Structure 1
Amino acid sequence: MDIIPIQKNYQKDVLNLYKTVTKHLRSNQNDQWDLFYPNLFVIQDDITNQNIYGIIDNHVVIGTVVLDELQSEKYEQIDWDDKNGNPACIHRLAVRPNYQGRGIGKLLLEYVEQLAIQRGYTSIRLDVYSTNDEAVGLYTKYGYVKRGTIEFPLRKNHYYCMEKQLNNN
């Protein structure tokens, strides 16, 4: 399966992916995403900024991930290991529920990690909802380390801030 930069012609498909994943999360009592986030405006920004990547299967977006430098101000309170480097951030990694468990998340992570290395980043940071056990497990399995927690408005639970050092050799 090839990973490609997501173009404007796929923005409705990405929105459909996010809605499907949101419904799946909610069915598992996970309020990480809702009707307001992620939304079409977020997707349009990701496409305009050329930082969203995805896997397409039979003309359907089955997984996406965003790689950029945008960090929440709340990240300033975290004791990151990479204090003087050039960190990138992962956002909105999503895989259609009927494709989960097939290594799609791993492929997306490996892709953006290699992209980050090529672009000279020294680490990757992210935040993940603490009750999203599958996502926390995925990140932990592939070398991301919990560095602290933050909270966002309108969410019942905290988010883990995680980080992975990149091998730039």
Structure 2
Amino acid sequence: MEQINTKLITRLALPEEASIVLNLWQESARWLNSKEIFQWRPEYFNLEQVNEFMTDGSDVYLAEINHEIVGTYTLTWSDSLIWEELDNTNSGYIHRFAVNRDFKGQNIGLLLLKSAEENIRQKGKTLIRLDCMADNLRLNQYYKDYGFQYIRRMKQGNWSASLYEKQ
């Protein structure tokens, strides 16, 4: 789908839009699975999770171009489960970053990252943080290319994540 105007507008998702957010997560999971990447699985996600993010102090965003939903991300203000002793109040954490596959190849991911970074900085945070599956080499490189610095690998059970931050 070709876009003439690439002005990205991000806004907080409304409670009645939880199913749209869920659909984006599940769509991304299906796409990842089709590429033999199993960091997300569609069945891992449900409306309860979306609603929990929407009510626990996190900020769930939807992104639009020309009134069409092109992606979503969630910002959290703490992540001690993943970041452990490195978790701090100077950081904003990007989670559930997903691009509508109908808009692939249009740099929507970079626009979403830029938007997330701006929203984190508007909250007065100095560090932008995220994690991704350590074995997803392409995604790890994507974040490095955007200027994120690798901090360390975190392992939980059979799953390990690469932790990244940007100042």
The match for 1:111 among 99, 111, 115 is 115
Of 112-121 and 66-75, deviating more is 66-75
Shift of 1:41: 1.8
1:10 aligns with 2:12: no
Letter in structure 1 aligned against 2:24: L
Shift of 1:57: 5.2
Structure 2 residue runs without a partner (length 5+) = 1-7
Structure 1 residue runs of 4+, over 4 Å off? 57-60
In structure 2, the partner of 1:42 is 49
In structure 1, the partner of 2:4 is none
1:26 aligns with 2:28: no
In structure 2, the partner of 1:86 is 90
CA-based RMSD: 2.3
Letter in structure 1 aligned against 2:33: R
Describe the superposition over 1:122-144 as per-residue Cα deviations: whole angstroms up to 9, x where unpaired. Answer: 10111111233443233112110
Q: Distance in 1 between matches of 2:9 and 2:142?
A: 20
* Contact 2:78-2:91 at 8 Å conserved across structures: no
The TM-score, its normalising length taken from structure 1, stands at 0.81
Q: Which has the higher contact order (CA 8 A, sep 6+)?
A: 1
Q: Tell me, what secondary structure is at the counterpart of 1:143?
A: coil
The TM-score, its normalising length taken from structure 2, stands at 0.82
Equivalent pairs counted in the alignment come to 159
Question: Aligned pair in 2 of structure 1 residues 54, 31: CA closer, same or farther (>3 Å)?
Answer: same
Letter in structure 2 aligned against 1:47: M
